[in-house]
Structure formats: structure tokens, C-alpha cells
Amino acid sequence: MCNLHYVEQGMSKVRSGPLTPCPSPSWGEGSFFIRMRSAPPLPFRERGLGGEGCPATTRLCTRPAMWSDIMDETLTMLKELAEAPGVSGQEGAVRLVMRRYLEPLGEIMVDNLGSVIGRKAGVAADGPKVMIAGHLDEIGFMVTRVTDEGYLKFQTLGGWWEQVMLAQRVEVYTRFGSLIGVIGSKPPHILSPEERTKVVDRKTMFIDIGAASRAEAESWGVRPGDAIVPVGPFVQMHNPDMLMSKAWDNRFGCALVIETMRRLGEQGHPNVLYGVGTVQEEVGLRGAATTTNLIAPDIGIAIDTGIAGDMPGVTLDDAAGRVGGGPVLLIYDGSMIAHTGLRNLVIDVAESEHIPLQFDKMPGGGTDAGRMHMFGGGVPSVVLGVAVRYIHTHTAIMHRRDFDQSADLLAALVRRLDAETVRRLKAGD
């Protein structure tokens, strides 16, 4: 029996697994399928494989109706982080997931607002302190009032555009558990001509949880302040590298923190690395402020979403990032201008590692680096991430290859941040 090392089919490496002869002659002589926990929805077309003991003609069979998603270790982590409920101010479930992944990698701290920090000393125990941070919180809503009829009024958490809110499913998290609901909307049949051309004001919106009265809703545990989380499960699309889910802003960033620390655990680094999951980024970069105060970093790297511009109606001047085009370096956002020396180092590292690098700006938003770079006498900081389509909605799309290349870039960058390099960056040399 041959053993598959890896196969590439527009996606990242598939981990080793035994190959089993295909049971149907129609799939062709010399065809095999891989027995894993699961397999890709997009059938592998005939493609040569490299594997110890595999015949040169080995092929993978096409079996589209019976494949399910490949869930390697990284995809499992991404799914767990993305699907965990965690709107701003109520990030506990996400923190538990991230902490579980961080615990094997270093010492764990949690600040008084709930941000989680993993500390990993490198080969120089007294080396410069490098902080990399993704934020735990996702955009969502908060219950503000229950009407007499049992509907919920709500406050938005983070930046929402009304047109993407109506008729979307949500989950309300009460002390007694979660309740499914939907943001109600009028059917088009009863809209006046004037109403059809207007964006609905969020102040008039409500959530229907199926309760017949305020008393019934309250008997289910609903109270003002309860978290309301968008419903948007993790899905691999027909191209399995395209990953669709709620909360990519910024659960992929939390996953990149973990993956970077994993990779550096294998290779070492000349600094002390702090991998952080911050709270309340979407409502004011608050967790970044408290964790920066705790860590007092020498270098700050925020990981956050770039806005994908590869869709109809968006120009390169609106958003330059392309899904699948590699990591994105933000040169400017509403809270920070990228540090020139650190920006140049990122460019140099990307070139030396043969990693494609995209550049973009985001004047309409801020990132955790906006708090990092103003700590003390100043902290050289940059923002790195991946291009994501449809951020700040119930469902967004990112590319797996962008994630893997970002992890490669971050690990290589941290390995370059020795004491002398950091000294020069801080001095502006």
C-alpha cells in the first residue's frame, strides 16, 4: 500500500494518509482514494501523486457525490474559532477556544477585560518583546429591550450597513442557552413605492425569536444586554480553498497568531513573542490598549482583514486586495500609518521568502495597531492580514492559501526581529 505525502489541487497540502484502491472499475485502473477523517467536496481530477511506494501512474479517483470536506488540523482550528459566538464585550467562548490552542505553545495570561495572551520565549530569553495580535470579537448585536409583543430591539456592536441586516438569522445568547431568531422585515407585497427605494433604518428593526409576549421571552431567559450573534456556519466552497463563514473579521487573525507560534516552536526565534487575542476591537480597540499596557512591546504587529476588491463594482482605488493574491500589508488605516522601517522589513522578508505581498489602505476603519503604536514612547507597528470578501456581514469569504502564506511571512518576520534589528527600527536607522 502506497502512502500519499501530499497532493495539490489549487489548495494547500493535504496531510499524509493511506491510499485505498477505488472500488469501481469505472474510475480507472490504478486509481485510488485517500481514507482520511474526511475528503474534499471538489473532486480531485486525475493528477499524479508523490508518495513512498506509489506507482508512477497513481491517480486519485473522481467521486463527487460521496466526498465531504477535508478538515485538516488548521481547518479544524479555523472552523472552531469562526463558529464560536463572541460579539464585542462577550468573547468568552472564543477565548476558551484560542486559549486551548495556545496552552501547549507558551505561558498563558488573561487580562481583566478578557483578552488572552500567550508568551513564548525564544533563544534569547531577554530579547525584544514582539506582540502579534488578532481580535477575538466579531460584529453583532445586543438586546436593549423586549417589546410587549415579544420582539427584541437591539443595539449594533461594530460597523453595520442596514442593507445587509434584514431577514438574516441570529442567535440570542441568554443565561439559559441560545435562541434562534431572525431580523424581521416587511414582505415586498406591502411596501409602498417610497419604502421600496429607501434603506431601512436600523432603529426600526427588530428580532423575532418566536415569543408571543414579553413575559414569554423573559421566561426563556432574555434580558437586556444579552449577546446576539450572526448565524453563518463555516463552509468549504466548491473550490475547497475558498472558506466561507461568519466572523473572519477577525477569527482568521486569532488562528494566525496560533499558527505563527506553532511554526516558531519548531524553528526558534531571537525574541520573546506574545501572541494575543484582544477583546472589543470592533467598538474601540479596547483590548489592544490593555494588553499593550501589560506587555510593553518593542514591536507591534496587528493581524486583521484586508478588504477584497476583486468583486463587481469595486475599483482598485477602493480596495486593492485580491482573494488568493497573498498576504496584505496595510500602509494606512484610520488609526495608524505603517512604520516605514518595519514596512520595509516586511517587504524584504516577503521577497526573500518568495511570498507574494499585496498593499492596501483602509481610511474608513482602524485596527489594534492604532493602540499598540502609541504606547509609551512609541512602538514600531504594522498591520498584516488577508483579503476577505463581504466583511461586516453575516458571511465572508477568504482563501486558504492566503492564510498559509501569511503564517509563513509572520514566522519569517519574527525570526528576523533580533535585538539589533529592533534597536535600528526604534532608532529610525
For residue 29, indicate whether it is catalytic.
no
What distance in Å separates the CA atoms of residue 93 and residue 401, rounded to the nearest whole number?
Answer: 27
Alpha-carbon gap, residue 226 to 371, rounded angstroms: 28
Nearest CA among 29, 44, 27, 33 for reference residue 4: 33
Distances (CA, A) of 244 to 78, 101, 391, 423: 11, 22, 11, 41
Location of C-alpha cell 473579521: 249
Which is the catalytic residue, given 83, 91, 138, 281? 281
Q: Which residues are catalytic?
A: 281
